[in-house]
Amino acid sequence: MHGTDIPNAGPSEAATTVGALATPALLLDKDRLDRNLARLSSRMAARGVVLRSHMKTAKSIEVARRAYPAGPGPITVSTLAEAEYFAQHGFRDMTYAVGLAPHAAESAMRLRKAGVDLKVLLDSSEQAKILGEAGGAAGVTPSAFIEIDCDGHRGGLTATDPKLIAVAVALAEAGVRLAGILTHAGESYSLCTPEALVAAAENERAVAVAAAETLRAAGHECPVVSVGSTPTAHFAEDLTGVTEMRAGVYMFFDLVMHGVGVCTTDDIAISILATVIGTKREKGWILVDAGWMALSRDRGTAAQRVDQGYGLVCDLCGKLYPDLIVSQASQEHGILAIRSRSAVTLPDLPIGTKVRILPNHACATASQHELYNVVSAGSDAIEAQWPRMRGW
Amino acid sequence: MHGTDIPNAGPSEAATTVGALATPALLLDKDRLDRNLARLSSRMAARGVVLRSHMKTAKSIEVARRAYPAGPGPITVSTLAEAEYFAQHGFRDMTYAVGLAPHAAESAMRLRKAGVDLKVLLDSSEQAKILGEAGGAAGVTPSAFIEIDCDGHRGGLTATDPKLIAVAVALAEAGVRLAGILTHAGESYSLCTPEALVAAAENERAVAVAAAETLRAAGHECPVVSVGSTPTAHFAEDLTGVTEMRAGVYMFFDLVMHGVGVCTTDDIAISILATVIGTKREKGWILVDAGWMALSRDRGTAAQRVDQGYGLVCDLCGKLYPDLIVSQASQEHGILAIRSRSAVTLPDLPIGTKVRILPNHACATASQHELYNVVSAGSDAIEAQWPRMRGW
């Protein structure tokens, strides 16, 4: 006995309601998504700054189309597989915002040769030389951003590093077009007051503009000044000199962004649907069938003022149970418990009860799933299933 | 311009050597896999205990075939999608070792109806009734394990809980066959001395056997006494009364298991291939193109005596760089640094250098990838690419 006589393990018919979905499953609230998209795009439009949305969170053409309803817009990608996927769906203007590796230079130039205006990121003369050679081999002129380090978060050169000019010179010598400078205020994720976020945004802007001015003063064209992180995108008060903003997690938001102070829990557009499989009242536990495989191992709120465990628990309609969190997770089991130092009583959730879990980190949680089950507020209907892409 | 004119973003030809692979990528050392498989299967054979390997780590038919070279053997699965996948490849004897949800009962009974001897897990009379109804609806006799809690780790009933007999009675009344009892010494993952591991294994055995004896004394057949976790499987000295052992991560091992004391770093069969994309010598950092998307967010060693960050770094041949760990990870970037309080100097790794990263948790890291690039010690050749399954 082999193969085709085995039925699909999922429900015998495709579920059309949230209540009928097999769990765990990823839900996406379309109304919240649209509201989050509109919030940042109108904020940037008001400031005359291009919004180059980062697709690393959603990894979905359907979400990208909602972000750019008028047709393919400028996007940021985190892998070359994303670049390929969005290009196959008509997007052409994109920035691959990960420091360039030699094999990535070759792949990027193949995409460029195929008509994709793919810009890459680097911060060294070695990378400039590698990119120039890859462009030459592919018969295209590469376009690259120099990565600027505005807060010590990761890669990039400081605005005052003498290497900045050296890299620009190396790009010119290698036959690479300088697209501009790019920075990311990654340290803003660890902040939690409006004042600190405003200051982080202003620092990101000021460092980016200073780097661009340094290049221009040395005779290098630097058309694009690209900044961005979801917190700074929402708290920047002045964007003078900045030409584009990058952000990704703003589409969905999550508990980390809630802890930073960028959104409310009512803005969080994705949740994990799970089913109660048992209760251990003597331990104060409710067991569900969503563990870290469904929620991800991300514990980003552990370093924040309020630790949300592996997520906050809502009922099927999205209403939060007071102080109920996913306190522990193994691969396919989650343990719900009342937050420590709370006087709230564990709710009575019989076996089979469905709950929705708001995630710590939308990028990590969504990546554990094949597709989004699209829902709207106030309705049990699954309106669509939007696939996600993955890989590199 | 749309669609088919976009080239594949990967290498223009399929890589045949590790050196030519696009990164990040998952490597599986076949020799280490085979050694790990042989170690536990010979240990269990010597004790006359069935090894029911857990497929939640590998999720690969090729790995399962290496674990059971004589043909499909008894397996454990963590999702019904795994049950379906392995059934389609000829496996028939399996246990779904996650507490039963109502929709899972229905799906499991459909698989049972198709000839898969799928046993399920429960610990309440409510679940027994739900399962009986699902069996009745599908026209099959369900078979279930009662979950026993041996160490307070997760679900299950203690061996002395009066509900144990009540659940067995509920199963009989619902027309469900009692397969036996099943327990998992999950707390063994937090131990780190041979003495403590031997004691945890003996506790797991003793509780399991006591529960089975309680059921038998009350007139219930309890044919299978199933225990298991990778640490206790390797440290159990006496398995009297136990009929089967379950373990999964033993196939690959990882840094958490190394911290527990079950394996050496030379036993760890999977690693993540990454490429150096920059150096910040002033900060003591080397940047690579593998972040948490490739490594997973699992920080399981953080609670151990030696915190390995997001993983230990080896050269392309698998030799460890002294005290070099992945100290930080963002989505597609990893930061390599020398472990704190080490006097070792940061190695000089130019842009383009490839490294291999040993993961904290093999189940989590492997799940971030589509396939295993299969290699052997001492060779740069990729011998095969083994797909992984995912989802629920």
- In the predicted model, residues of chain A with pLDDT beneath 50 are 1-3
> Do A68 and A198 have their domain in common?
yes
Q: Read off the pLDDT of residues B275-323 as tens digits, 9 standing for 90 and up.
A: 999 999 999 999 999 999 999 999 999 999 999 999 999 999 999 999 9
Q: How far is CA B163 from the centre of its chain?
A: 30
Report the pLDDT value the prediction gives residue A14, as an integer from 0 to 100.
77
* b/e A305-339 (16+ beta carbons within 10 angstroms → b): eebbbbbbbbeeebeebebbbbbbbbbbbbbbbbb
Give residues with Cβ within 8 angstroms of B116, minimum separation 6: A6, B83, B87, B92, B94
| CATH number of the domain enclosing B370 | 2.40.37.20
| Chain A residues near residue B161 by CB distance under 8 angstroms | none
Contact B181, B211 (CB under 8 A): yes
Report the pLDDT value the prediction gives residue B91, as an integer from 0 to 100.
98
Does A13 fall in a domain? no
Report the pLDDT value the prediction gives residue A9, as an integer from 0 to 100.
60
* Two tokens, residue B203: 């506790």
Task: Provide the 10 A C-beta neighbour count for residue A144.
Answer: 30
Report the pLDDT value the prediction gives residue B4, as an integer from 0 to 100.
53
Beta strand B244-247 pairing with B270-280: unpaired
CB contact, 8 Å: B391 with chain A? yes
Looking at the partner chain, which of A6, A186, A350 has a beta carbon nearest the beta carbon of B116? A6
Does A93 fall in a domain? yes
Q: How far is B297 from chain A (nearest CA, A)?
A: 5
Does B258 fall in a domain? no
Q: Kindly identify which residue of chain B lies nearest to residue A108, measuring between CA atoms.
A: B9
Give residues with Cβ within 8 angstroms of B361, minimum separation 6: A297, B249, B254, B255, B256, B296, B298, B300
Among B203, B218, B251, residue at a domain's last position: B251
Does B44 fall in a domain? no
Per the structure, how many domains does chain B have?
2
Contact B357, B290 (CB under 8 A): yes
Among A251, A282, A316, residue at a domain's last position: A251
Inter-chain CB proximity B292 and A298 less than 8 Å: yes
Report the pLDDT value the prediction gives residue B11, as an integer from 0 to 100.
55
* Two tokens, residue A62: 């359907």
Inter-chain CB proximity B275 and A10 less than 8 Å: no
> Do A168 and A210 have their domain in common?
yes
Q: How far is A162 from chain B (nearest CA, A)?
A: 14
Cα angle, residue A368 at apex, residues B367 and B354 outer, rounded to 5°? 45
Distance CA A144, CA B82 (A): 44
Report the pLDDT value the prediction gives residue A190, as an integer from 0 to 100.
96
Looking only at Cα atoms, what is the longest distance across chain B?
75
> Do B75 and B158 have their domain in common?
yes
> Do B246 and B275 have their domain in common?
no
Inter-chain CB proximity B9 and A111 less than 8 Å: yes
Question: What burial class does residue B237 get, using C-beta atoms within 10 Å of its C-beta: 0-12 exposed, 13-18 middle, 19+ buried?
Answer: exposed
Q: Read off the pLDDT of residues A244-255 as tens digits, 9 standing for 90 and up.
A: 999 999 999 999
Q: Read off the pLDDT of residues B177-227 as tens digits, 9 standing for 90 and up.
A: 999 999 999 999 999 999 999 999 999 999 999 999 999 999 999 999 999
**Does residue B1 carry a pLDDT above 90?**
no
Does B136 fall in a domain? yes
Does B72 fall in a domain? yes
Contact A261, A321 (CB under 8 A): no
* Two tokens, residue A97: 């915002």
Question: What burial class does residue A250 get, using C-beta atoms within 10 Å of its C-beta: 0-12 exposed, 13-18 middle, 19+ buried?
Answer: buried
Contact A202, A155 (CB under 8 A): no
* A12, HSE (Cβ side, Cα atoms, 13 Å): 8
Q: What is the DSSP letter of B58?
A: T
Among A225, A251, A277, residue at a domain's last position: A251
Write out residues 310-349 of B within 8 Å (CB-CB) of A.
330-333, 335
Report the pLDDT value the prediction gives residue A1, as an integer from 0 to 100.
39
Residue with tokens 């915190």: B307
User: Position A374: which residue type?
Assistant: V
Range of the domain at B150: 49-251
Q: Give the three-class secondary structure for B321.
A: strand
| Chain A residues near residue B80 by CB distance under 8 angstroms | 9-10
Q: Give the three-class secondary structure for A50.
A: strand
> Do B339 and B366 have their domain in common?
yes
Write out residues 14-43 of B within 8 Å (CB-CB) of A.
22-25
Report the pLDDT value the prediction gives residue A328, as an integer from 0 to 100.
98
Task: Provide the 10 A C-beta neighbour count for residue A1.
Answer: 10
* B26, HSE (Cβ side, Cα atoms, 13 Å): 27
Contact A87, A57 (CB under 8 A): no
Tell me the mean pLDDT in the region B13-23.
89
User: Position B18: which residue type?
Assistant: V
| Chain B residues near residue A280 by CB distance under 8 angstroms | 155
Residue from B98, B93, B141, B133 nearest B117 by CA:
B93
| Chain B residues near residue A123 by CB distance under 8 angstroms | 278
Inter-chain CB proximity B152 and A115 less than 8 Å: no
Report the pLDDT value the prediction gives residue B9, as an integer from 0 to 100.
60
> Do A382 and A324 have their domain in common?
yes
Question: What burial class does residue A291 get, using C-beta atoms within 10 Å of its C-beta: 0-12 exposed, 13-18 middle, 19+ buried?
Answer: buried
Report the pLDDT value the prediction gives residue A5, as an integer from 0 to 100.
73
> Do B125 and B194 have their domain in common?
yes
Report the pLDDT value the prediction gives residue A4, as an integer from 0 to 100.
52
| Chain A residues near residue B4 by CB distance under 8 angstroms | 88
| CATH number of the domain enclosing A203 | 3.20.20.10
> Do A215 and A87 have their domain in common?
yes
A184 φ, ψ (degrees, to nearest 5): -140, 120
Inter-chain CB proximity A6 and B80 less than 8 Å: no
B261: left (phi over 0), alpha (psi -120 to 50) or beta: left
Q: How far apart are the first and last CA of chain B?
A: 37
> Do B194 and B322 have their domain in common?
no
Mean pLDDT of chain B: 96
Residue from A50, A165, A170 nearest A100 by CA:
A170
> Do A273 and A382 have their domain in common?
yes
Contact B236, B205 (CB under 8 A): yes
Report the pLDDT value the prediction gives residue A15, as an integer from 0 to 100.
85
CB contact, 8 Å: B106 with chain A? yes
Tell me the mean pLDDT in the region B106-123.
98
| pLDDT confidence tier of residue B263, bands split at 50, 70 and 90 | very high
Does A289 fall in a domain? yes
Distance CA A109, CA B293 (A): 24
Contact A333, B154 (CB under 8 A): yes
User: Position A21: which residue type?
Assistant: L
> Do B220 and B291 have their domain in common?
no
> Do A122 and A166 have their domain in common?
yes
Cα angle, residue A89 at apex, residues A143 and A44 outer, rounded to 5°? 65
| Chain A residues near residue B293 by CB distance under 8 angstroms | 78, 367
Does B118 fall in a domain? yes
Distance CA A364, CA B25 (A): 18
Distance CA B380, CA A376 (A): 51
| Chain A residues near residue B87 by CB distance under 8 angstroms | 6
